Every structure is written in C-alpha cells, then in structure tokens.
Amino acid sequence: MAETLLNRINGSKAAKVFRARIKRPDVLKDKASTALLLAPYVLLFSLFIIIPVVAAIGLSFTYFNGIEAPAFAKMFGLYNYIMILTQDEVFLRYVLPNTLKYAIITGPGGYALSFMMAWMLSQIQAKPRKWIALALYTPSMLGGVLVGVIFRTLFSGDKSGYINAILLDWGLVNIPVDFLQSGDYLMQIMIFVTLWSSMGIGFLSMLAGILNINREMYEAAYIDGIKNRMQEIFYITIPSMKPQMLFGAVMAIVGAFNAGGIGVALSGSNPTPQYAGQLIVNHIDDYGFIRYEMGYAAALSVILLLVILFFSKIAYRLFGERD
Amino acid sequence: MANFLGTQINPKSFHPSQLKFYLFLVPVGLVMILPVFYVVGQAFKPLSELFLFPPRFIVSNPTLDNFARLFRTASGTGVPMTRYLFNSLIVTTLTILVTLLVTLMTGYALSKKKFGLKKAIFSINQTALMFVATAVAIPRYLVVTGLGLTNSFAAHIIPYLAMPVGLFLVKQFIDQVPDELIEAAKIDGANDWHILTKIVGPLVKPALATVAILSFQMIWNSTESSNIYVIDETKKTFAFYMNTLTASSAGPAGAGIAAAAGLVMFIPNLAIFIIMQGNVMDTMSHSGIK
C-alpha cells in the first residue's frame, strides 16, 4: 500500500517537473530569464494602464478634490453616479447625446469608410495603390494639434476663412458663417474632420488583410456560382479576413473616443460654445482639471470605459472566432 | 471571368474595369490631402499673400519668411522655439528606443516562452488595445505624481512606454519565426539576449519599424504630458509650443508661423512613413485578432 502510494507520487506530473528542475538547473535559469524579459512591460503596463483604471473605479465612489484625502461618497458611494444620471443637466442634455451621435457616426462610419477604401484599393494595381493609400492615411498621422490648426483656418468665422470665402464668392451667403463659435455647425464639422482622419492603422490592417486572401478562394467561389462583386465581398472577402476586420473595428472604436478633444481644438475653448461639441472626454477634463471634482470625473471615466467595452464586445461578437 | 489577371484582387495588369475604382479613389485621395497641401502653401506665403482677400490656395511668391520668424520666436516666458524642438527630439528618440526594446523583449517572451500567465497577459493586453488614455487622465496624473515624475523629462517618456498595440503587433509577428530556429540557437549555447538581438530582432524588423512609427506619431504629436505633468516651461515639447502658438496667434501673420510650425511637425512623420511603408504593410498582414 505504502509502496504503491510512493510509486504514484514518484510517477506524478509534479514529481516529474520537480525532477526535471533538479536535473537541469538551466530550466530555472530559463524561468528567471523569462521573468526578466517580461518585468519591464508588466511593470509599466500595471503602473500606467491597470492602476489608473482600477483607481478610476475606486475614486468614482468618493468625493475627491485633489487636495484632501478622498472621502467615501454619500448614498453608499453611488452619489457621483446618481448625480450624473439624474442631476447633471449638461451631461444629460448635451454630453450624452453628443457623444452617442459622434461615436455612432464616426465609429461605424469611419470603419465602413476604411473598409470600402481598402477594398477599392485592392482592386487596382500595386504602384498607384501605394500612393493613394498614402494619401488616405496621411490625415490620420497629422495629430490633433495640426488638425486643429488646419481646420480652424479653413472654417474661420470671418471672410478670410477659405470655406467662407468660397461661399461668399458663389453668392451662397451674404455674411460669413460663424462655423466654429456659434455652436450650430461645430458637431457636423467635428464629425467631418474625424471621418477625414479615420483611415489609420485599422485601415492599413484591413488593406493588408484583403491583399493576403488566397486568390484560389475567389476562383473556387466563382466556379461554385458566386455571381457578382457584392456576393464576393460578403461570402469570401470578409469571412477570409475576420481577424483584420476585428483589429480594424477595435482601432475604429478607440479612434472615435480618442479624437474627443477635437471639439475643443476647433473652437478653442472648453466647454465648447453652447456645449455643441461637448463630448464625454471634454466633460471629464472639465470636471477633473478645471473644477477639481475628481471623484465625479472618475465616475464619468468609468461610464466612458464601459461604453467603449460595450462597443468592443459588439465587434468581437461580429468578427471574433469562437473556440 | 475572361480576364482574371486584370479584374481580380491585387491585379497584375490594367483592365478597363479598374477605371471605375480610379475614378472614385483619385478624387477622394486628392480631397484627403488637400488640407495638407493647404498647410504647405500657407507656410510658404509671404505676409502680403496671407492677408489677401479672397484667400488664394496656391502661393505665387514662395518665401521662407515664416520659417525664419518661427525659429526666432519665443514663448511668452522667453523660452526660444528651438528649445522646445530640442526637447521633443530628445523625448521622442528616447521613448522610441526604450519602447522598441521593451516591446521586443515582451513579445519574444509571450510568443516563444512557456509560462503560466502567458495566456492571461496576452489577453489582458488585447483588452488594453481599446484603452483610451484620456479617459483615465486623472488617476494617471496621480500615478505620475506619486512616482515623483512631475516636472521632469521622464514624465514625457515613462507613462508612454507600455504600448499595447505595439506589443500586440510584435508578438503576432514573432509568432511567424519558426521555433526550430530558436531551438538551434539554444543548442549552440545562445542565451535569450543573444537570441533576441541576433535572431528574433533582425527577423521582425518590419514589426519594429511599425511600432517605431506608431510610437513616434503618438509622442511627437502629444501635448498631454506638457499640459498636465510638466510645469517648467523649458521642459515642454514642440507640440505643446505649437498649440499655444496657434491658440494665441489670431490673424494671418500668426497663421503663417503656425503653418510653418505645422510643417516642421508633419514632415518627419511623412518622411518616416514613406520610407517604412513596405514594412508597415508587412506587419499589418499579421495584425488580425483571433
């Protein structure tokens, strides 16, 4: 009995691993080396990505003004959330509808645009493709500051603005339109600018994905009775490049929410005129860095992260490969 | 079906059926870069043309005045523009170099090593692809303050070194490197550092180039660290300076300088991307999320 138990212990997986380690110290050395390789990234990632997210969740249940220690918020800590969802008139009347409108148009819109462009580019020859792809990608590498500069002058509210000069010249308007400061057009311009700069890394990924699809797939599909380009896209192209479609989708979502500063860059003020371009990112800045109500701002951050997570879940549902 | 060479994906030759795509793509491509041409024109316009009404798109007497004035300008506190440019160069170079090293090390470990937390780390990183830094700007600020980085050069660099997208792309690329190659090197007595610098690194150059570009775009264009973490004017970056320049300089004279500054910001971006475009496309073919 005791002998069989001993045999079983000796034959167990743990014992084998243990023996392997005793016999070969290089296994231990390898483990140490792996740990060293991972350490810097894991440390930096934890410090600047994980801890901030966890801290945002924690702070969202507190009252915190940046000077005194955070105090647990009233109403079981839910005070901030309750205020946001019931009392924050600016959030409910402007920020939330603006953010949804902006995100829904620029996220899926920019994504569809990227795919369409990538697909068309894949239908032409390599040399011109390279240059047109560069032209389409260029706006996305300009960065917020420069985009602000360009469109502030193009849409300038006096007659020195290019758009106004053209409108005046063609007799479409009599006095220059106040595009950026009146609040009437700010959201439309923000959406336009974001779509304009939406063909970034996700677009390149999808282009590479389409170009990598095995040619024989198409030949086989035509033999099997696919009739036109539309069927080709939906039955061959998209299913064959799902991983790139997913990467592109995630990048589009992140891009849509990251570009939130554009309204402030265009109008030059936070809050934006009449809250016309106020997105949740600006609202967070407003409360966090202008009013120093950091607990409140953190609650807004958590709401934003949940919204992003929700959109990503949809993307994974659509394009993810289920095991 | 008749001419499969000309009508298929990634065609090898021209076919009239491609015309409709050109008819769409060429105008769209032009509209996309029109604003960029506009900045270029603006940057070379003499003062007289900047004031012109109606404004003209094309510059008739190009001049370098705007650039000369840009390099002579100084911020309200007397810090010369060249100081900001110098700061940006240092910060960007250091960030890219360290990011590449950290990303390569981690990508190699996640791709070729066996350890318990491997799957967990990779999937957490994949979730972090959707991380939007501005959403948690406040706790990030608290971390930076807590580490005592505020008002130092490190505040421009350290918070941006962990780059989930970069790690993801590099790891996917290292997956393509055959395991046998690494086993063979190990048998020859190479340690991880040798494998990394002599074998894996050179083989995944396209992915590293892509990460360098993405990191460059992020850091070079970023005003966040200068706005929030750094108080000392002499330690702020060019993107920040440009932002104040354009915010304060109303009127055509300022617009000329702003456009010149914009061009100085944009040209490195464009040049690097054109040189590396092939590498980027190479990397992107392995970018899919499964």
pLDDT digits (tens, 9 = 90+) for B65-107: 888 888 887 776 788 888 999 999 999 999 999 999 999 999 9
CA-nearest residue to B249 within chain A is A149
The per-residue pLDDT for B1 is 44
| Mean pLDDT calculated for residue range B213-226 | 89
| C-alpha dist (Å) from residue A149 to A78, A278, B196, B243 | 41, 19, 43, 8
Q: Left if phi > 0, otherwise alpha if psi is -120 to 50, otherwise beta: which for B34? A: alpha
Question: pLDDT digit string (tens) for B257-267?
Answer: 888 888 888 88
How many CA atoms lie less than 13 Å away from B198 in the CB half-sphere? 13
Choose the weakest-confidence range: A214-223, B48-57, B90-99. Answer: B48-57
Confidence of residue A16 (pLDDT cuts 50, 70, 90): low
A114 in Cβ contact with A206 (< 8 Å): yes
Task: Report CB contact under 8 Å: B288, A241.
Answer: yes
Q: Which residues in chain B are closer than 8 Å to A189, comparing Cβ atoms?
A: none
Residues in A closer than 8 angstroms to B8, CB to CB, are 215, 218
Q: Tell me the average pLDDT across A270-293.
A: 85
**Is the pLDDT assigned to residue A294 strictly greater than 80?**
yes
Nearest Cα of chain B lies from the Cα of A75 at a distance, in angstroms, of 23
* Helix (H), strand (E) at residue A71: strand A71-72
pLDDT, mean of residues B106-120: 92
Give the pLDDT of residue A18: 63
| Model confidence pLDDT, tens digit, residues A103-147 | 889 888 999 999 999 999 998 988 899 999 999 999 988 877 788
Question: Residues A240, A294: contact at Cβ < 8 Å?
Answer: no
Average pLDDT of chain A is 85
Q: A258 vs A61, which has greater pLDDT?
A: A61
Q: Is a pLDDT exceeding 70 seen at residue A88?
A: yes
For residue B230, count other CB atoms closer than 10 A to its CB.
22
In chain B, which residue's Cα lies nearest the Cα of A33?
B192
Select, from the ranges A192-196, A272-276, B244-248, the one with the highest average predicted confidence (pLDDT): A192-196
**Cβ-defined contact of A136 to B28 (cutoff 8 Å):** yes
Contact list in B for residue A306 (CB cut-off 8 A) is none
Q: Is the pLDDT of residue B61 over 70?
A: yes
B30 interfaces chain A, CB cutoff of 8 Å: yes
Q: Are residues B136 and A258, on separate chains, in Cβ contact within 8 Å?
A: no
pLDDT surpassing 90 at residue A25: no
Whether pLDDT at B2 is above 60: no
Angle at B230 between CA B224 and CA B236, to 5 degrees: 80
* pLDDT at A136 (0 to 100): 93
- Percentage of chain B surpassing pLDDT 70? 93
pLDDT for B5: 52
- In this prediction, residues A238-252 reach a mean pLDDT of 89
Three-state SS for A62?
strand
Average pLDDT of chain B, as a whole number: 86
* Shortest CA gap B145–chain A (Å): 11
Statement: residue B217 has pLDDT above 60: yes
* Partner B, chain A 19-48, Cβ-Cβ below 8 Å: 30-31, 33-34, 37-38, 40-42, 44-45, 47-48
d(CA B259, nearest CA chain A) in Å: 8
- Segment B204-210 shows an average pLDDT of 90
Based on the number of CB atoms within 10 Å of its own CB, is B118 exposed (0-12), middle (13-18) or buried (19 or more)?
A: middle
pLDDT tens-digit map of B16-50: 888 888 999 999 999 888 888 888 888 898 887 77
pLDDT at B3 over 50: no
